[in-house]
Amino acid sequence: MPDWISHILIGLIFAEIFSIRKKGLVVFGSLLPDFAVKVHLFGAFFHVSDKLAFVTQLYHSPVMGLIIPGLAVPFFRYDWKKTYLFITSGFMLHLFADSFTRLYHDGILLYPFSYGYFSFGLLWPEQYWIVIIASLAVYVLIKLAKFSIKKFDLQ
Amino acid sequence: MSPHVGQTIILPSRGSDPSSNLGRSIFTYNKMAKKLVGFIAYTALVALFIILSIDFYLSREHYDPSIDAFLGNSEKYEGKYSKFAGPVINVSGSSFYMRVNQRPLKVYHANLEKPKFGQVYVWARLNSDGTAEAIEVHNFSYNYAKYFLSFFAFILFLLIFFREWKFKGWRLVENA
């Protein structure tokens, strides 16, 4: 899976393309799937229950991408439809970005209809730098394009 | 007759209409009804979240066994396959020891090159004696750097997020 810088950049790219003013919500959604799943990283320091680590995999699935943002919505005093849409967009973008990486825990795409894992399997986790460079390049290009259009409009 | 939920109500103006108290009551009623619908929907969502989590937990048999489960009863999982990752402890000619979730595991694989600043990924067939026969091995060299980067990314996230939002009680409101 890509690192969090890539996930943030992908969220920001999406927000720039669709001119979303509340970029923070998209970025929040784009990190949300990892907040629970990363519990397995504590295994580097102490033993983590394999049952707990197993259940957290579910929070990396599209069905939870529809439920978890709904649970977060009441914490925001803002238009609930927009809040839900922006957080969900970020969440789904995270899953999409992760699906390019080959992992020992691939995404559970069709749960609860299927228990199968899914991944395009194009990159290994240590090749995260490819995603960083690509997403950074796209983000800079979009920013430059927007800046040029704005400058052109002013003239 | 009391109004039903969703009914359009024209609020009388406070000063001119003597029935303004009634108007305010109806307005409060509608507001409370909306809150009740929101509460029911949220409770249903929480219930769905819990039900799916329990269902997924109970579906563990559909997935590869964890190394914890395997090391607890290796004979039960003989011949099954599992994928896992962890740091390499030591390497010998035909096998190596790695740590998976703080538990050492012997994996049969010839001439492993120890990963640099990262873990090793293994897809293996499990043996009854608590060891594993590697089918595929891959080094996640320099993968730990990703976690350092992600730490700084979290700070970046906080900056982006709290530039737009601030806490007011238990909720987040727009940062003016």
Q: What is the pLDDT of residues B103-160, one digit of tens each?
A: 999 999 998 999 999 999 999 999 999 999 999 999 999 989 988 899 999 999 999 9
From the list A22, A47, A128, the residue facing B146 with the nearest CB is: A128
Helix, strand, coil share (%) of chain A residues, nearest 5: 70, 5, 25
Inform me whether the C-beta atom of residue B20 falls under 8 Å from chain A C-beta atoms: no
Distances (CA, A) of A113 to A62, A67, A109, A120: 12, 16, 9, 20
Contact A5 B142 (CB under 8 A): no
Q: Cβ neighbours of residue B147 under 8 Å, at least 6 residues apart?
A: A3, A41
- Please state the φ and ψ torsions of residue B12, each to the nearest 5 degrees: -70, 150
pLDDT score for B28: 84
pTM of structure: 0.87
For chain B, which residues make up each domain, given as ranges? 1-63, 67-140, 144-174
d(CA A55, CA A32): 16
Shortest Cα distance, chain A CAs vs residue B19, angstroms: 32
Contact B141 A126 (CB under 8 A): yes
pLDDT score for B73: 92
pLDDT score for A49: 87
Q: Cβ neighbours of residue B75 under 8 Å, at least 6 residues apart?
A: B128
Kindly report, residue by residue over B29-73, the tens digit of the pLDDT.
Answer: 888 888 999 999 999 999 999 999 999 999 988 888 999 999 999
Closest CA to B129 of B79, B167, B165, B163: B79
Number of domains chain A contains: 1
Contact A64 B62 (CB under 8 A): no
Residue B14 has pLDDT above 60, yes or no: no
d(CA B14, CA B21): 8
Which chain B residues in 82-141 lie under 8 Å from chain A, judged by CB atoms?
Answer: 83-87, 100-103, 118, 121, 123, 138-141
Structural domain of residue A96, as residue ranges?
4-154
From chain B, pick out residues whose CB is under 8 angstroms from the CB of A28: 157, 161
Closest CA to A28 of B40, B161, B108: B161
Contact A23 B164 (CB under 8 A): yes
Inform me whether the C-beta atom of residue B55 falls under 8 Å from chain A C-beta atoms: yes
- DSSP-derived letter for residue A125 is G
- DSSP-derived letter for residue A105 is S
Find which of B40, B60, B121, B157 to mutate to test the A interface (most A CBs within 10 Å of its CB). B157
d(CA B24, CA B44): 30
From chain A, pick out residues whose CB is under 8 angstroms from the CB of B69: 50
Q: Which amino acid is at B18?
A: P
Residue with structure tokens 């789904």? A92
Query: How are strands ordered across the β-sheet holding B103-108?
Result: B81-86, B119-126, B131-140, B103-108, B95-100, B88-91
Contact B157 A41 (CB under 8 A): no
Contact B83 A104 (CB under 8 A): yes
* Average pLDDT over chain A, rounded to an integer: 90
Q: Cβ neighbours of residue A34 under 8 Å, at least 6 residues apart?
A: A1, A4, A7, A94
Q: B17 falls in which pLDDT band (50, 70, 90)? A: low
From the list B38, B48, B101, the residue facing A43 with the nearest CB is: B101
Inform me whether the C-beta atom of residue B176 falls under 8 Å from chain A C-beta atoms: no
Contact B103 A70 (CB under 8 A): no
d(CA B116, CA B65): 28
- Pick out chain A residues at pLDDT < 70: 1, 104-107
Residue with structure tokens 């066994």? B65
Task: Say which CATH topology domain B67-140 has.
Answer: OB fold (Dihydrolipoamide Acetyltransferase, E2P) (2.40.50)
Contact A4 B150 (CB under 8 A): yes
Closest CA to A76 of B167, B105, B41, B148: B167
Token duo for residue B164: 């737009």
